[in-house]
Structure 1
Amino acid sequence: MDTIFALATARGKAGVAVIRISGPRAAEAGQALAGSLPASRVAGLRRLHDGEGGLLDEALVLAFDEGASFTGEKVVEFQCHGSPATVAAVLAALGRLPGMRMAEPGEFTRRALENGVMDLAQVEGLGDLLEAETEAQRRQALRVLSGALGDRAESWRSNLIRAAALLEATIDFADEEVPVDVTGEVGALLDAMLCELTAEIDGVAVAERIREGFEVAIVGPPNAGKSTLLNHLAGREAAITSEHAGTTRDVIEVRMDLHGLPVTILDTAGLRDSADAVETIGIARAIDRAKAADLRIFLLDDSGETQGLAPLAEDIVVRGKADLAGGDGLAVSGKTGQGVAELVARITSVLEQRAARAVTATRARHRQAMIVAQGAIGEAQNQLSLGMEVAELAAEDLRRAIRALDSLVGRVDVEHVLDEIFARFCLGK
């Protein structure tokens, strides 16, 4: 296997740059540049030299033994000064050593997976953690990275193996008198499994929204103050505002962090009947995006009309241009800021309640694997309802469920997703 190396920190000027080496020749490469390596997991100050004895830098050097590193292989790390010239010189010196090559994007993490240091769900959690922009995204990614989904999958797998073993025992001793009826224990195990899987499957959609971001659409008639409200929320002139109705023709998006939740606010075209062909297209797009959004803010004028788009139970209905009109109920003004804090609090409350329903699984791939397992368990229950004469068919259904759960953590049937997952990683990870 090749020994790989790469810059593990961001490119550009920095106080410190970390260069990572992993593979069978990592220690040899480290010694070639540093002269000697410190004890495992102990930092040592060393002068780095190139192959001709020229001084490259003075760096902290760390060495990790096989089985005790991020990749599970022998690893050496140089903590160099972070100038681009220093980094380039050290990388060039490593590239001239025999058996060394630059790592591909995500290759360090892929080796961690192949060496059993991480499971596939943890790899996805690490990818999400590297992309996290808000506190909710960080917490969710860290939960997956810590192995929470793998632990759940292992627990489910153990229960299914137990149920399958009981059925297999019944099959193996079909010609003898089996002293214990296993249907009660198997049925209880499968019932509990289905309840847990159903809860996880239902929570994936929310977890995906935390990772990708919730969408909140501002909808209402023209000149209700939608674009002005968006600009106030964004803290900048994201949308053009005008006294003329129909100014907004397309959906304008602004990404925000609301109390740790990733949220994209959508400013949409004013809802009304229009003879203008371009405005009509904008209105159609507004309705489509509003229907697909996670939450809608209906910003209404004095007429109170929603132009055929009815609010759902959790949608927020407010009056616009509160600085110009009185009345009861929640009203906001993007121009003066009146009522905006209360509106943000309402939005945050609704989305926090939804985020609380997020579970361990976070991706459509996880959901699909669990749906397959859920269906296989359901089939096993149907077989068992026909009697122990078809226990062999039920056992095969349980084996199918086990294979589906194994795919969650990368034991089987995941080669087709690996390239896509690791391509999203940066070079030094």
Structure 2
Amino acid sequence: MSAPDTDTLFAPASGFGRAAVAVIRVSGPAARDVLIALGGGVPAPRRLSLRTLRDPADGRVLDAALVAFFPGPNTYSGEDMAELHLHGGLAVRAGVLAALARLPGCRPAGPGAFTRRAVLNGRLDLAEAEAVADLIDAETEGQRRQALRQLDGALSRQVAAWRAEAIDCLAGAEAALDFSDEGDVDDAGLDAALFGRAEALRGAIAAALADGRRGERLRDGFFVVLAGAPNAGKSTLLNALARREVAIVSDVPGTTRDAIEVRLDLGGLPVVLVDTAGLRETDEAIEVAGIGRTRARIADADLVLALVPPDGAAPDLGAAGARTLTVRTKGDLRPGSTEGGLTVSARTGAGLPALLDAVRLEAEAGLGAGDALITRTRHRAALEAALAHLDRLLAGAGRALPELAAEDLRLAVRALGEVGGHVGVEDVLDRLFAGFCIGK
């Protein structure tokens, strides 16, 4: 662990720009002194009180504000905190921030500084802190539900239970190692029980990992690639679904050279539509590069919409691993058509609701309802490491040698501890909180 930071931090906790109210958050040992210096006193804990804020340097009035004091350790950061609820003008906020910067022991907070202190003070574990970031970034209902579930400790509680079981198994292995020459330790019976528990633990972790990466995909979005020949109607369909002019539409083949992404909220799920370069044989260098990117996006997609124009055939998608839906475009040019499946017209809007419903159902099947246990690559990597150590324990010489069994279990315990930041926390703190907003 690095040396503790004893400065008192302050930062706006509300959005920047003109607003009705601006909230400034203060956290640290001088939080009480800040209220005395600016407001002349400390209100009753956890109660808003009207105060005239003055600049301690010259006594001039800064604002009439509501202030609150929250004594630690039962606060968000685990230390004394204060809040200043100001009028939301830019000059008001700037004046108060400048006064705070002049107070002894106070400094502006960096990104995620308050949540970082919450982790270091034991108010949140690392997985819960990541959930705070996910909740702030949530754009859809499904992402919000998933983030709240993680913030409530869904992953942390499960991993803690797995870790406790691994520690119990480790204690058994170490007992066999330390007391193997004692008459009251039955090596064979102990080994059978230990490996049975380790196998059950291994199965539980493996089951959690076999989730199709639903949690990570819900955070990032369900990617739907529009693929087809030039002039199949990809860009026109993208604009119609996005309800705005996102992509350039032209009768000239090969207009789209690079992928264009549009994010949609379908039934509370994040869906990313990707317009791509038309698939065809060409010698034009830039278009060839665009087609190469199209095939790469098709390979990585969650769903591919294979667009078929009235006078064309289904596109050659190559080695597409995702599910594919065939969509017949330009339905207004197919009078009296009896073709089955999805037929749409971006010009008239016919078939678009059915297409969106079909995409939503695919997204629901792929992402779930925000109930995934694993939501980040870091979680998955730690659990996969624990699983690898348990696999080695169950398959290797550890069944005969307690020394090896104890080492594999010790490494599994460590890997599980990395999920909540019980070990190796300094390795990820800087990277995690760099992505937070100021004031959180």
Same-fold status (TM-score > 0.5): yes
Aligned with 2:267 (options 251, 255, 259): 259
Cα deviation code 1:337-362 (max 9, x no counterpart)? 11111111111111111112862221
Of 300-309 and 10-19, the range deviating more from structure 2? 300-309
* Closer, same or farther: CA 422–308 of 1 in aligned 2, 3 Å: closer
Residue 376 of structure 2 aligns with an amino acid whose one-letter code is R
Return the alpha-carbon distance in structure 2 between the equivalents of residues 393 and 212 of structure 1.
40
Q: Does 1:418 align with 2:426?
A: no
Pick aligned residue for 1:3 from 4, 8, 16 = 8
Aligned equivalent of 1:173: 179
Percent identity between the aligned chains? Answer: 46
Alignment correspondent of 2:364: 352
2:354 to 342, 351, 358: 342
- Aligned partner of 1:197 in structure 2 is 205
Q: Secondary structure at the match of 1:32?
A: helix
Structure 2 Cα separation of the partners of residues 72 and 136 of structure 1 = 30
The residue number in structure 2 matching 1:215 is 223
Residue 312 of structure 1 and its aligned partner are, at CA, apart by 5.3
Superposition deviation, residue 160 in structure 1: 0.5
Q: For 2:108 and 2:147, locate their aligned partners in 1 and report how far apart those are by CA, in whole Å.
A: 28
In 2, Cα distance between equivalents of 1:55 and 1:28: 18
Residue 403 of structure 2 corresponds to residue 395 of structure 1: no
Q: Cα RMSD between the aligned structures? A: 1.9
Q: Which moved more, 1:287-296 or 1:243-252?
A: 243-252
Partner of 2:108: 102
Equivalent pair of 1:225/1:333 in contact (CA under 8 Å): no
Supply the distance in 1 between the matched residues of 2:316 and 2:374 (Cα, whole angstroms): 39
Alpha-carbon distance, 1:172 to partner = 2.8
Q: Does 2:42 correspond to 1:37?
A: yes
SS in 2 for 1:175: coil
Instruction: Give the conservation status (yes or no) of the 8 Å contact 1:106–1:422.
Output: yes
Structure 1 counterpart of 2:416: 405
CA distance in 1: counterparts of 2:118 and 2:321, whole angstroms: 46
Q: Write the distance in 2 (CA, Å) between the matches of 1:308 and 1:369.
A: 35
How high is the TM-score relative to the length of structure 1?
Answer: 0.94
1:380 corresponds to 2:393: yes
- Of 93, 117, 130, the match for 1:111: 117
Q: Is the 8 A contact 1:30 1:37 kept in 2?
A: yes
Q: In the alignment, residue 395 of structure 2 is paired with which amino acid?
A: N
Paired residues in the alignment total 427
**2:163 and 2:13 mapped to 1: Cα distance?**
36
Q: What runs of 5+ residues in structure 2 fail to find an aligned partner?
A: 1-5
TM alignment of 1:19-418, pairs within 5 A = 19-51=24-56, 52-178=58-184, 181-203=189-211, 205-301=213-309, 302-307=311-316, 309=318, 314-325=323-334, 326-329=337-340, 330-356=342-368, 359-383=372-396, 386-387=399-400, 390-418=401-429
Change (3 A) 1:367 1:53: same
Residue 179 of structure 1 and its aligned partner are, at CA, apart by 6.0
Is the Cα–Cα contact under 8 Å of residues 318 and 332 in structure 1 kept in the other structure? yes
CA distance in 2, matches of 1:209, 1:310: 21
Secondary structure of 1:360's partner?
coil
Query: Structure 1 pair 84/384, CA: closer, same or farther in 2 (3 Å)?
Result: same
Q: CA deviation at 1:110?
A: 0.9
Deviations 1:8-64 (A, max 9, x none): 111111111111111111101111111121221122222212213322222221111
C-alpha distance 316-172 of structure 1, shift in aligned 2 (>3 A): same
User: Which amino acid is 1:230 matched to?
Assistant: L
The whole-number CA distance in structure 1 between the counterparts of 2:294 and 2:173 is: 56
One-letter identity of the residue aligned with 1:119: D
